[in-house]
Chains A and B, each alone.
Chain A
């Protein structure tokens, strides 16, 4: 079953254009939504949450159109903007007592289990929580109202390596029984290498690729060669960097002749992102 289906989203702003954004997230999986700052991750997430009006396109959550069934579907979505804090001077229990009234399937027992598990003190103010604890509090809220789809906008930004690792482990635990799906945006590719099943890569408002993680990385090659080899390949490279030994560049596997003598390796997600960002610079 498809947990989230994004179809041909288009939205024009003054200085930015979301162009034909499409991808699907299957139930019970984690999808990493990657892209540089300003690539369109948050705008896409806002479209999913029906916070912006699309010029065209559709979003379906658990098979239903978000525009037509917004209130029902928001009961099933757990949502967290990593970088934004709400009512930070309020205590956890004050905030929870207000929030839980909005959800039909709220379960106090589940909530208190998560508070214990995440070592969250109800009497603490939001401001007194570390970044990692804030994300855990958000997860506790989402899971206590029975959310089937978690949409997390940069939940790992600002976390120390240990907190990040713990959070990624929690994400993996949550999807184990196949009921919960997670879409989380990040510009930190190491998060995704650890826990994502699928990768959707957005660049300058356009989806570059959306596929299974290994397949995604395997569809590119990082090439190292000399200047004369660069001249033969230049047109087919996504972008390249010159160095004292020659060049390093990224190419789509379909554009690369694997029988050639150029040294080719499978790039990391970070390298793919960097070379796509460099492509933008080359055309500016």
Chain B
């Protein structure tokens, strides 16, 4: 599986998409912005372009001719997606720390980039994975409908959660108000987000393995 991950990183993915998280991460420096959008760029730009590249280069048939199992092919591809997602979120989190330093007295209209917010972001990535990965592996090369469905779901999620954050005083207090200073609460939300991300991604991977196993190439 390690060789397959290296294959994707060396052949399939343009180095630009490994540099993009650093560039997109700087968007965290925009004061009082909707920071959910920072991760959305990964869905809008990186995912369609990377999967278009796999399709254009006949990666599926290329990989099938080599001595690798179908299960490892899926696991490696999911690992690559997770690596990119983690790269995006961790770099955005680091830029988020600078945001607090740059604008210490900012009153946030949307979610401020506290740890709890990143927990919500992990849930957004989880929603993307649970829809995109199994849908993609219905064919293992068509990514359009899988990307459309998964991106739409994440948009609905972040719009709803952000709306609640504005409209509902409890949610607002938890993420931007007094709750933001409660470190244990913030860490708990972050951990719950990471757990949801892990569970959804493992579930997505096992559904994809089953679907890909049945596929005629």
A residues in contact (CB < 8 Å) with B = 46, 49, 51-53, 70-72, 74-75, 79, 81, 84-90, 94-95, 97-99, 101-103
Whole-angstrom distance between the Cβ of B9 and the nearest chain A Cβ: 10
Pick the contact of B64: A51, A53, A75, A87 (CB < 8 A). A51
B11 touches A71 (CB 8 A): no
Closest to B65 in A: A79
Does B142 reach chain A (CB closer than 8 Å)?
no
Pick the contact of B217: A51, A70, A72, A98 (CB < 8 A). A51
B68 touches A71 (CB 8 A): yes
B69 touches A70 (CB 8 A): yes
Whole-angstrom distance between the Cβ of A104 and the nearest chain B Cβ: 8
Within 8 A of A (CB), among B8-66: 10-12, 57-59, 61-62, 64-66
Q: In the assembly, what is the distance between CA of A141 and CA of B23, in Å?
A: 39
Residues of A within 8 A of B12 (CB): 87
Across chains A and B, which 3 residue pairs bring their CB atoms closest together, nearest first? A74-B67, A86-B62, A52-B216
B216 touches A51 (CB 8 A): yes
- Known contacts A46-B217, A81-B61, A84-B58; is A98 also within 8 Å of B6 by CB? yes
Pick the contact of B61: A70, A84, A101 (CB < 8 A). A84
7 A-B pairs in the complex with CB atoms less than 8 angstroms apart: A51-B61, A51-B216, A52-B216, A85-B58, A87-B11, A99-B66, A101-B6
Among A72, A85, A101: residue with most chain B CB under 10 A: A101
Residues of A within 8 A of B7 (CB): 98
Closest to A52 in B: B216
A53 touches B58 (CB 8 A): no
Among B3, B67, B69, B217: residue with most chain A CB under 10 A: B67
B57 touches A75 (CB 8 A): no
Pick the contact of A52: B65, B68, B217 (CB < 8 A). B217
Residues of B within 8 A of A52 (CB): 216-217
Whole-angstrom distance between the Cβ of B158 and the nearest chain A Cβ: 35
Closest to B3 in A: A101
Residues of A within 8 A of B216 (CB): 46, 51-53
Residues of A within 8 A of B59 (CB): 86-87
Residues of A within 8 A of B69 (CB): 70-71
Closest to B14 in A: A89
Residues of B within 8 A of A81 (CB): 61, 65
Residues of B within 8 A of A72 (CB): 67
Whole-angstrom distance between the Cβ of A192 and the nearest chain B Cβ: 24
Q: In the assembly, what is the distance between CA of A101 and CA of B12, in Å?
A: 16
Among A52, A74, A86, A88: residue with most chain B CB under 10 A: A86
Pick the contact of A98: B10, B57, B68 (CB < 8 A). B10
Whole-angstrom distance between the Cβ of B55 and the nearest chain A Cβ: 12
A87 touches B61 (CB 8 A): no
Whole-angstrom distance between the Cβ of B4 and the nearest chain A Cβ: 8
Residues of A within 8 A of B65 (CB): 49, 74, 79, 81
Within 8 A of A (CB), among B103-135: none
Whole-angstrom distance between the Cβ of B38 and the nearest chain A Cβ: 30
Closest to A98 in B: B7
Pick the contact of A86: B6, B57, B67, B217 (CB < 8 A). B57
Residues of B within 8 A of A46 (CB): 216-217
Residues of B within 8 A of A97 (CB): 10
Residues of A within 8 A of B217 (CB): 46, 51-52
Closest to A126 in B: B57
Residues of A within 8 A of B10 (CB): 94, 97-98
Q: In the assembly, what is the distance between CA of A95 and CA of B12, in Å?
A: 11
